[in-house]
Structure 1
Amino acid sequence: MGTMTFRPRRITLPAFRPPVFTGRPHDARTATAVGRWLGAAFAVCFATGLVSHYLQHPPDWLSNSLPPRPVWGYRLTQGLHVATGLAAIVLLLVKLWAVYPRLFVWPPVRSWRHALERLSVAVLVASALFQVLTGLLNIAEWYPWPFSFVPVHFAVAWVVAGSVLLHVAVKAPQIGAHWRRTSEGTLALPAEDVRDRRSLLLGTGAAVGAVTLTTVGQTFTPLKSLDLLAPRHPDHGPQGLPVNRTAAAAGVTASGLRAWRLEVTGPRPYTLTLDALRELPRTTARLPIACVEGWSADARWEGVRVRDLVARAGGRPGHDGVRVTSLEQAGAYRVMEMGADYADDPLSLLALTLNGQVLSLDHGFPARIIAPNRPGVLQTKWVHRLEVL
């Protein structure tokens, strides 16, 4: 019987050929046009994000100097922060679509300078995507990651800002060459390519406008009827006001409040029952509550001025701050501090009613803080202790 011989077949791998992209929407002029809008959105996001962070976590040297006016200040800055962040998602995706052919340039690295340029672009793209996507999940209050959102989001914001500045510095000659509509070579383009670019930019603007119109109503109430995509509606919730953290989530129950007392510590400490607190002189104020997730709404609050409670405990209005403690069993904002300017403002209240009704349990019954120009997470609910600092 004969012997069969098996010879392995030689496998030849095809040579790598990077894809070839055609069409003017992928050129530098298009990338520059979209980049201008994206850069503006990132600049607004960064500036308003700094305001939000330092209002929530002021350093010691700033804590007694934060301005309580204008009363709508935080509502405006945080509304802009979330609105421009949502617009930046659309703009970033279009920008990446316009430049992605450059990801396939061959050879991938031509020199040390080229390698550093590509590395800087990788950091910019990664950090920008991380920032806008985690921000989107934050306004939906979904946290599928193991890290704390606030410090990480704040740190990566600086990475994005530095990466944008570095990218602009490296690409300054190309950006300058394609900045104006009449840039060199633009007028010589075929009419079809010009129409394609114009259609892409018009479509991008329409997408940004649609996202803005269907979300900004959560804070800009004249457009609340168009609030279709935002996670909150300014009128939906107990007593006509949204609630982020319910009493059940905070571990506060009505039965646990039967023996509630307000404890105020200072040079002359004292304790008040709810009936005694209600007998003190009260102030009514119409103030917005504005949350870091981007929603906000005006409401009519009535309660005792914080400055009056501080003065009764022997504190010095205008000089002493207040530490506020909630009955909430756990949480990053269970204990909150108000600087001297906030504690002394006549509109900073220990509120007892909301829109003419006794506070519901989800809105902080029996008493909560409401103060002007302040993030919602610092408008502490279920207050049981005030400590004059």
Structure 2
Amino acid sequence: MLRLESGIVQRVIKQKPGMQLVEVLLTSSGHLGQAISYSAEKYAAGDELLLNTTAVRLSLGTGGYHIVVGKILADGAADLYPSSWGHIMKMRYSPWQMAVDAVEEQNSPYHSLFTDEQASLEGTPVLIGELHSLLPTVAGAIREAAPSWRIVYVMPDGASLPIGLSQQVAHLKSQGLVSSTVTTGHAWGGDWESVNIYNGLLAARLTAKADIIVCLLGPGVAGTGTPLGFSGMQLAEVIHAVSLLGGIPFFIPRVSFSDTRERHRGVSHHTLTLLRKFTLRPVLMPVPIWGDERDDRIASQLTEIHKQAGHILLRRAAPSQAQLEKLEGLYDLQLSTMGRSWREDPAPFQAAILAAELAVKSAGAAVSGGRSGFAEPDTLAALALFLTRNGE
């Protein structure tokens, strides 16, 4: 199903860099709705637009928005996504394909940075996770632990493709918590564009000058209730890329004790499936300790993680709920995930804070390695020992 309809703009509801939300009157039905646009073209009351109404017709969880294709023009043409040197197409061969300024392409002023086969992340810590809604918690915790660090967010293409959909990214950039963004694969709209996750991570380090990288999926992940049918499976490739490029992979487990679905209680099966079988390189995974029955459930779930894949678990006391309250107020953040606030389900946010704090502290370790040596099992074990000996 791909449903296209025309609509007339009634008013502009919201506007921010990379996104405009308008109220539209559908021509065919006379129904009012909201439509979201990611183009450089701005709309006003009275403009006639071509809309993709598919998701709303199917009642999908996209916020109830139609998607603006563009203005219906009586004549002439419009460039809805201007570029400078771009010849790399994203959303290739779809009706919405566009040329972007890919950071690594031949005409890019940064091309030479990516021609070195030995280019490395040089031990940069990379926080990897499934839930986009944890980005504010991660960014806020990093800022508290390392106020001067440049935080760069890398968005793969496993969920939302336009980064403009993310209200979190826009807010975090306005607050100075995220320095810049990189969109990889067919995701688009970041400060830097890249062809794939490998060069996207290198771009975060080499062009955006990241002190720490956060790589969470964009908003709108999919799940099917099957063992492998969920968007988070893409994170296996992210882990491999970080490891082979010489970064330090810190994995944020998906944890909840309020989710009504058994497969997501404690440590979600999304985390367990990914780490038990489909990651071929080890990660450091911070695991909160609460000192109650929650610890028993998580311990039983993680029994085989280290044995099967060599992942290193960093079991530490869970950050306090007071830290969450402080972060929320300090940076004007709305901390919620899967429809629940941190007061209803603090566990996922505590796991995110713990991962951020340990990733920052790992930078003080004296480790050495070549292009991928930083993420070798022995080096990760040494990092875990360093964190243990330094008050953790």
* Same topology, TM > 0.5: no
Q: Which has the higher contact order (CA 8 A, sep 6+)?
A: 1
For normalisation by structure 1, the TM-score amounts to 0.21
**More strand, by proportion:** 2
**More helix, by proportion:** 1
For normalisation by structure 2, the TM-score amounts to 0.20
Structure number, greater radius of gyration: 1
